[in-house]
Every structure is written in C-alpha cells, then in structure tokens.
Amino acid sequence: MGRAYMCNIVGTRRNTGCLVGSYLFWHVSTTEPFGDMGELAAAIMGLWSIFLLVVGTIKSMVAYGIWKLNKWARFLGIILVIGEILFILWLVIIEWEFLIFFAVPLIICLVILYFLLIDEKTKNAF
C-alpha cells in the first residue's frame, strides 16, 4: 500500500513503471532470493549501477565532444569503442550464446570505430 501511494505522488494512478521498479527494489533488497548473500547482492548491484551511470555520463560527454568536433573526444571515443568491443568479445568467449544478443551492438561498435579511426572525411573534419 505504501508503494502504491508513492506512485500516486508521481501523478498517475496506475504508473506501471513505478510499481514494477518499487517491487524490484524491494525484491532485491530482501535476503530471501539470495539467502545470506542478499545484502552483498544488493550492494554489488548498487555499485554496478553507479559504475554504469559514470560510464554513461562519460559516453554522453564524448558524444557531445564529437558533435563539436573536438580532438580529445575523437581520441576518447576510439578508446571507449575499443573497450566496448573487447568487453563484447570477452562475453562471447565466456558464453557463445551471447553472440546472438551482442551481434548488433558489435556491428554498431565496428562501424563507429571505422568512422572514427579509418574514414578520411572524418579524419579531415577533426
């Protein structure tokens, strides 16, 4: 009942995202699904979300820098894309079935790397 009241504050009576999010937060924060490791699992998920927030912020800054044709952004963009390609390849090596899920992101990363690293028009623009 408390979670539903919280969702009513947001403005809509049946905000499904709010209900699902509050349920997932409650489910992860309890120790039942992980036994005695519940607090550790919640802490690891919290640290992972902070890490992803930092990486997303850096990628947003790099994207804005590339939009403004800054050389530092091109260099950092190349490093980030190479890191992402290596991470995807590592996931595929660990579990071959991940290739199905990461084929499109891998192709997108390779196209971005081509344009940032090899394409002559892009090199001349920077």
For the chain, the DSSP string reads -HHHHHHHHHT-TT-HHHHHHHHHHHHHHSSTTTGGGHHHHHHHHHHHHHHHHHHHHHHHHHHHHHHTT-HHHHHHHHHHHHHHHHHHHHHHHH-TTHHHHHHHHHHHHHHHHHHHHT-HHHHHH-
Range of the domain at 105: 57-125
pLDDT at 22: 52
> Does residue 120 fall inside a structural domain?
yes
| Mean pLDDT score of the chain | 75
Is pTM beyond 0.75? Reply is: no
| pLDDT reported for residue 9 | 47
32 in a structural domain: no
Count of domains observed in the chain: 1
Q: Is 109 part of any domain?
A: yes
What is the pLDDT at residue 79? 92
Give pLDDT, residue 4. Answer: 46
- pLDDT at position 82 is 93
Say if 102 falls within a structural domain: yes
- Low-confidence spans in the chain with pLDDT less than 50: 1-13, 18-19, 28-29, 31
Is 90 contained in some domain? yes
> Is residue 75 in a domain?
yes
Whether residue 17 is contained in a domain is answered as: no
pLDDT at position 98, please?
Answer: 74
Specify if 82 maps to a domain: yes
